[in-house]
Amino acid sequence: MELAYYSDYAVRLVNSEEPARGKDSLTSVEAVRDLFGGNSSAARRATDADVTRFRSVRGRLRAVFEAADGGNETLAVDLLNSLLLEFPVSPQISGHDYRDDDGRPLWHMHLADHPSNATAGYAAIAAMGLAFHLTEYGVDRLGLCEASPCRNAFLDTSTNRSRRYCSDRCATRANVAAYRARKRLEADRSDSTGLAAPATQRTTATGDR
C-alpha cells in the first residue's frame, strides 16, 4: 500500500463531520465500517461502542490539521506524536493481492495493527499515514478548506504547495463568491461616484455666486 492510502484514513475520518454546517455522518456502526473502505476484515471488528471512540479520535486528528493550517508546526507534531504513542503499529513486508506478470508477489510495506478494538486499529493506521505524509512533504501540506463554511481536511499534493480547497467544487464555489463580491464592490463604488458628482457641482455653483 502507498503512504497516501494510509494518510487518507485520517482525511476520511476528519471529514465525516462538518462542524460549521452542523453535519455529522458518524452516527452508526455502519458509518464506522464505511470508513474502512476496502479493508472489510478490519471493518467487521467495529461495534456500536466504536462510534463514540471514533468521534474522540476524529477530534484529535482535526486538531492536528487545525494546528498545521494555523502555522503551528510544533503543536501539530506534538498532537500527532501523542496519537502514535497511544495507537502503535508494526511495519511488515507484504505481497498479498499484488502480482507481477509472472505471478510473483509485488512486495510492499504494510502497516500491521494489533488493535484491541476497531477504533484502535483505524487510529493507528490513520496516525501513521499522516505522520509519513507530514515528514515526507512538510506540515504545510496538511490543510483545511478555505471555502467557507466547508473546512474539510485535505492533503496538499500540488507541485507548488498552492492547494487551498478540499475539492474542485469548493474551489469553484469560492471563485464564484469572490467574483460576485468584486462585482458588488464595483457597483457600490459606481453608485458612490454617481452621487458624489452632483454634490460637487452644487458646491461649485454656490461658490460662483
pLDDT digits (tens, 9 = 90+) for 53-104: 999 999 999 999 999 999 999 999 999 999 999 998 877 787 766 677 787 8
Model confidence pLDDT, tens digit, residues 105-142: 888 777 766 667 999 999 999 999 999 999 999 999 99
Query: How far is the C-alpha of 157 from the C-alpha of 171, rounded, in Å?
Result: 16
Q: What is the pLDDT of residue 3?
A: 60
Answer for the pair 32, 44: CB distance below 8 angstroms, yes or no: no
Residue 151 backbone class (left: φ over 0; alpha: ψ -120 to 50; beta: rest): left
Give the DSSP letter of residue 14.
H
pLDDT digits (tens, 9 = 90+) for 5-44: 789 999 999 999 999 899 999 999 999 999 998 777 889 9
Its pTM surpasses 0.75? yes
What would the grid cell of residue 174 be?
Answer: 469560492
Q: What is the pLDDT of residue 93?
A: 83
Residue 111 carries which DSSP code?
E
Amino acid in position 1: M
Number of helices (H), then strands (E), in the chain: 7, 6
Sole residue written with cell 476520511: 12
Peptide bond into 198 cis (omega under 30): no
Query: For residue 58, which of 91, 88, 35, 29 has the smallest C-alpha distance?
Result: 35
CA distance linking residue 183 with residue 66, whole number of Å: 32
Residue 199 has pLDDT above 50, yes or no: no
Cβ–Cβ < 8 Å for 25, 17:
yes
pLDDT of 161 reads 84
Distance CA 199, CA 209 (A): 16
